[in-house]
Structure 1
């Protein structure tokens, strides 16, 4: 990151951050896409089982992994304030925290997972696939969380191209092992959807090995001396990370878990409905990688400027990021409308699932504009280290408004399964409105603070 002095320079620097982050996010989500889509070509039961397993795992990882995202604004502020010597210590403390979180997931999951699946109205085969998919995937949880920390470190330095390249070489590894283990090719056992779990775990280990090599052997990362020494645990540093990270993690958890909760509630419908819903939500989530990437790029840019107390520049980056996200939302909406049949065909050959997926994709169009506003604002607020508002917005908008509206429409009107999607749309829109007002308030406060400092 470097200081910029014009709109053109800011646009170019934000795009330089954004494009690699976008490719990285699409690549990471493409792994989940490959799990679901390739499992769907094994059978509808495998698709439904992996869908259930994925919708249990994704909010757990994104929520608890979101805690570790606190490292990005922490490192960005150190850079903006010209305190690079403090970065390695913060990173190592985040690594310790990541390992602790990973062990906690494994311990709690070993007791909770059977009970969670037992409460769901699933076909026995679908339940078994979901359970063993998650058991297989759990073999890669520890390396995934360590990789997540090191990725935050790399991105915060503005070197987002590095994580992009790691993801690009990891994706074919994931697809290859999916092919081998789902369908039983070249002497490997045909494990169906469960094979996707093993393939994902192998990919997580691969990512960790690569990122360890990069951060310890390649400049500028090796300059920071990560893993050359192991400082003792610091409760003070953990408190700093958790003060920022817990609200981020809870906000992400409440946002992603609402989609998981809807999928779990969909278990009251038949396997065709579950499979179609998951196919549509999977592609809609893939499109969400665009505003999410804008959000992550804004956290880096705004954090850098806020750390240097250049609040006008931070505001300009925020406006620029929202404009990019809204513009792309127009394009993705048109893609969904025009090519919904072709998109549905990527997930299934089953005629009933295909037809229902097309209908769900029409509702996904309405997600695009709320996400294009809410996600970039969340990223900007994290750059300001203002994280509590996003947490409250997610809790109230998604769980206080979206889920109740969806439940009523799905169970007490003719909308049925589509009612949950209407509820999601309502919650996303409410969250976008709330966050917009919060951003305006934070920026006004920062503007007044800068004016006061200049007056002195």
Structure 2
């Protein structure tokens, strides 16, 4: 290791963060690969299947990500315990997290079984498509307990700087997901051709397989023996701590994803082909988001460990390294999207009308991804300090107030069409409703990035004063 990478230097923390982040990133890409497989396979099945997939995924992701955010409260909690060498306390926190995940699963299942309330804002949906949506969500309801409990395993591995276990499981699950999709979507090996419903069924099967693999690895990996992992009875004190941090974290996740979910439901008013193009755009944005999210999770975990060890200079430098990595990574991602645009669209669909809509919308993605990446890293760094309530309020204002409500008002509401000149300039050829939603979402993300950045520095100054000699 060169002099510039000695412990304590910025390059050292950049390398440490990258070493922690790349397995998280690969694991996240493996997870998002499920959505890519579903979208691509449904897109090559029929436009109706793609529309059912788009609306179903929008509903499911809204529910799952909000609940997942609550479970992710385990990351800073376990991270600070691990940094302070409180191994048994970290293990007990994980066990309480399992109980919380099971309780949240019941809430999520109840929500998924009633999709008609969600579809009310999408206008007239063909009965065949609505039937597929209902059964797709029923299949995903079966998967929800497994996927949420697996998230506790993910949180534990990430918080203690051992993310490769989950990465390996997620990578292996891609092959099984592709296989079961091929069987159930298209009706191979004697199975009925279920279309979008088959994608949901394959997700449920693979979800329980990954949970079984995760529990087996926790039991047989000697590293985790120090935590004395057991499922003790639920304790209200521990549940209260998890919910105190987890509810605003889940709310923050929910605010971020709700914008995209309700965008999909509104865009459905512009027809099947616009919905398909929007879904491709949304899937690409989610895929790109995995990079800043992975670095954010890694930075938050390492920063939480430093806070637990009461090493505030290390916490600050780790956070700075994460911000630098995300900025450089976002610029690299933008270059890839611009250069590979045509090939990317060919992977998603062979329908020329859907591809034309997606190509027009993709003109805004460079600006969108940069703002999305920077607001992401700042929100994760705040969570390392167990600060989640104010960031939630800031994101509600920026993403919901400015982005979603502004997009509805100017795209489909009383001021519909007001942004036509801007759309013609930034996204020529894009459908006005969908394009307006994406433009306002971009503005909302920019506002969120700035507000969260300044709040992070406010928290940092408070910690400096608190820990000053």
- TM above 0.5: yes
Residues 265-288 of structure 1 show CA distances to partners (whole Å, capped at 9, x for unaligned) of 112111000000001110111011
CA contact (8 A) 1:62 1:256 kept: yes
1:292 partner SS: helix
CA contact (8 A) 1:266 1:273 kept: yes
Q: Name 2:242's counterpart in structure 1.
A: 241
Q: Distance in 1 between matches of 2:433 and 2:98?
A: 45
Deviation at 1:320, TM superposition (A): 0.9
Residues 210-237 of structure 1 show CA distances to partners (whole Å, capped at 9, x for unaligned) of 000011111211342323xx42210000
Q: Name 1:93's counterpart in structure 2.
A: 96
Q: Distance in 1 between matches of 2:111 and 2:275?
A: 27
Deviation at 1:338, TM superposition (A): 2.2
Q: Name 1:82's counterpart in structure 2.
A: 85
How big is the alpha-carbon RMSD for the aligned residues of Structure 1 and Structure 2? Answer: 1.4
* 1:443 and 2:460 aligned: yes
Q: Distance in 2 between matches of 1:119 and 1:320?
A: 43
* 1:120 and 2:137 aligned: no
| Structure 1 residue corresponding to 2:438, chosen from 408, 411, 421 | 421
Residues 230-251 of structure 1 show CA distances to partners (whole Å, capped at 9, x for unaligned) of 4221000001101111110000
Q: Distance in 2 between matches of 1:276 and 1:435?
A: 31
Q: Name 1:144's counterpart in structure 2.
A: 147
Q: Distance in 2 between matches of 1:387 and 1:119?
A: 30
Gaps of 5+ in 2: 1-5, 421-431
Q: For residues 255-270 of structure 1, what are the structure 2 equivalents within 5 Å?
A: 255-270=256-271
Q: Name 1:432's counterpart in structure 2.
A: 449
Residues 100-132 of structure 1 show CA distances to partners (whole Å, capped at 9, x for unaligned) of 11012223433x323333553222222222111
Q: Distance in 2 between matches of 1:429 and 1:216?
A: 44
Q: Distance in 2 between matches of 1:62 and 1:4?
A: 36
Q: Distance in 2 between matches of 1:337 and 1:66?
A: 31
CA contact (8 A) 2:84 2:309 kept: yes
1:189 partner SS: coil
Q: Name 2:132's counterpart in structure 1.
A: 129
1:158 partner SS: coil
Deviation at 1:151, TM superposition (A): 1.2
| Structure 2 residue corresponding to 1:178, chosen from 170, 176, 181 | 181
| Structure 2 residue corresponding to 1:40, chosen from 43, 52, 72 | 43
Deviation at 1:400, TM superposition (A): 0.9
1:200 partner SS: helix
CA contact (8 A) 2:60 2:112 kept: no
Q: Name 1:209's counterpart in structure 2.
A: 212
User: 4+ runs of 1 displaced by more than 6 Å?
Assistant: none
2:122 partner SS: coil
Deviation at 1:394, TM superposition (A): 1.6
Q: Distance in 2 between matches of 1:25 and 1:150?
A: 14
Q: Name 1:22's counterpart in structure 2.
A: 25
1:231 partner SS: coil
1:241 partner SS: helix
Q: Distance in 1 between matches of 2:263 and 2:325?
A: 29
Q: Name 1:323's counterpart in structure 2.
A: 324
CA contact (8 A) 1:377 1:436 kept: yes
Q: Distance in 2 between matches of 1:154 and 1:31?
A: 21
TM-score normalised to structure 1 length: 0.95
Deviation at 1:4, TM superposition (A): 4.7
Q: For residues 381-420 of structure 1, what are the structure 2 equivalents within 5 Å?
A: 381-411=382-412, 412-413=416-417, 414=420, 415-420=432-437
Q: Distance in 2 between matches of 1:298 and 1:223?
A: 24
CA contact (8 A) 1:389 1:435 kept: no
1:57 partner SS: helix
Distance verdict in 2 for CA 1:120–1:368, change over 3 Å:
closer
Q: Distance in 2 between matches of 1:309 and 1:269?
A: 54
Q: Distance in 1 between matches of 2:78 and 2:435?
A: 43
Deviation at 1:179, TM superposition (A): 0.9
Deviation at 1:351, TM superposition (A): 0.7
CA contact (8 A) 1:216 1:225 kept: no
Gaps of 5+ in 1: none
Q: Name 1:253's counterpart in structure 2.
A: 254
Q: Distance in 2 between matches of 1:363 and 1:14?
A: 30
Q: Distance in 1 between matches of 2:8 and 2:86?
A: 22
1:21 partner SS: helix
CA contact (8 A) 1:117 1:131 kept: no
